[in-house]
Amino acid sequence: MKKVIICEGFNDGLFMESLVSKLGFHKTKIKIFKQLDVSIEEKKDAETRILRSFIDDNSFNPYDILIKLEGGKDSAIKLFSRELVYSLRKIDNLILILDIDNSNFEGKKNLIKDMVNKIFGQTIPLELNFKEKNQNKHLHHSSCKVTINGTKQEVGEFQMVLFKNNLENVCGIVNKKDTEEDKRIKIEKLITENKLPDFFSQIIN
């Protein structure tokens, strides 16, 4: 069961690492891919290479979960729109984790719709049907079915989890001051105190 989790930045990666370890996936191999870790020589088409090798069923790919950390404004959504719509059929569980920042659920939803529409709108318009599933103090979970507009043909489904504020504010992380260890401790506290493994067990299964 292949899972791809796309997050926005480095701290989200720490959050997911800690969270996944508490979800009880025994013997599950997790690969965390950060753009910044890629050397200049390997940069060309690096995202595609990592995705291709992850999606393909071959013995050289031992991982079950790929956590992708994106940098830059909206690049997680751009990556999803441009590449992962193609892969929806091959990935069992695709999860987008975003901060709401100054927007709201509707705003993020529309941003994803716009991005997908820019790429596919002219050729084969896609319909994204979001359904609110669950929420707690800090998080909002919705699922989204992707279908071909005007038909019932389903392309796939993905999950979207939004931090109502953003991870840093919720945990009290101060980016330039806190060390990686400080961040891990704060994130661990957030996960335990808010019973987030229970919240995510319905999403990452």
- Give the x/- contact pattern for another protein in 57-76, rule: CB under 8 A: ---------------x--x-
Comparing CB distances to another protein, the nearer of 20 and 91 is 91
DSSP letters spanning 8-74: SSHHHHHHHHHHHHTTT-TT--EEEEEGGGS-GGG-TTHHHHHHHHHHS--TT---SEEEEE--STT
Comparing CB distances to another protein, the nearer of 19 and 32 is 32
Tell me which of 35, 93, 135, 194 binds another protein, using CB under 8 A.
35
Q: Are 80 and 18 in contact (CB under 8 A)?
A: no
Closest CA to 167 of 18, 25, 30, 38: 18
Comparing CB distances to another protein, the nearer of 26 and 152 is 152
Taking CB under 8 A as the rule, does residue 43 contact another protein? yes
Segment near another protein (CB under 8 A), from 10-18, 100-108, 120-128, 137-145? 120-128
Count of residues that interact with another protein, criterion CB under 8 A: 31
Tell me which of 129, 134, 149, 153 binds another protein, using CB under 8 A.
153
